[in-house]
Structure 1
Amino acid sequence: MSALAWDHTELGYAGPAPKRPHLVLVQGGARTTADAGGVRLTRRGRLALFLLVLAVVAVTSLTGLRGAGASEPLRAVTVAPGETLSQIAVAELPTLSMDQAIVAIQIANNLSTAQVSAGQQLVIPSS
């Protein structure tokens, strides 16, 4: 027996080489859930479902817009000479840890680093 050829006589088979199994296409196949008695959704049903989803999305978006106007206005602070972002974060956002407060201020002001300069205006997000 070689690595590239299979000798069926070495395994005790007599006669012609056995055929390799192969896939056979069977007409009809497995039954779908609709054929087996499942729920069938008509065109009118799909339209009703679509309109229901659309109504839910509209209501939730309008509710979200109404709630967005109720938030408190953003505060702004001016960086004093020698003041660091960590000092401002601890003083302005005492409910957050220092790391969380620094990140919140960086995100609110689109800062890529923790470097601030004297006279710079920083927006303080609500905590």
Structure 2
Amino acid sequence: MALDLTNTAKTFVSNISSAVKDTTTQDLTTLKGFSEEQLDSLARQSALVAGMIEKNEFTDDERDFFLIGLQNMASSFVHTLIGMLEVEIEKIYNAVVKAIYDSISSLAKVALAVPVPV
């Protein structure tokens, strides 16, 4: 019996969408919380530095030291966020591949081994 390709395609869309949603729901909440916390810290530190500069309470060397510190904080935040996103993308990829293999196995009534995650 031949598969109805329209309904089969809908099955894949549904299964892949579910896999992506299941994979990302919790992780995106964590990512959002991390981002908000880090941005708040960076903003508060920046405000303190701006206030000290405005009051002329830094020497030139102290001002430069704190400005470089802010740059380092920003860089660390962005690099950590990139790493978290890379992990998330890999998890999504693996979930999509698993959903495809599981769907093929179910629809074609064969036992396919899901490839080892990348």
Q: Structure 1-normalised TM-score?
A: 0.33
Considering only CA atoms, is the larger Rg found in Structure 1 or Structure 2? 1
| Higher percent of residues as strand | 1
Relative contact order (C-alpha < 8 Å, sep 6+): which is higher?
2
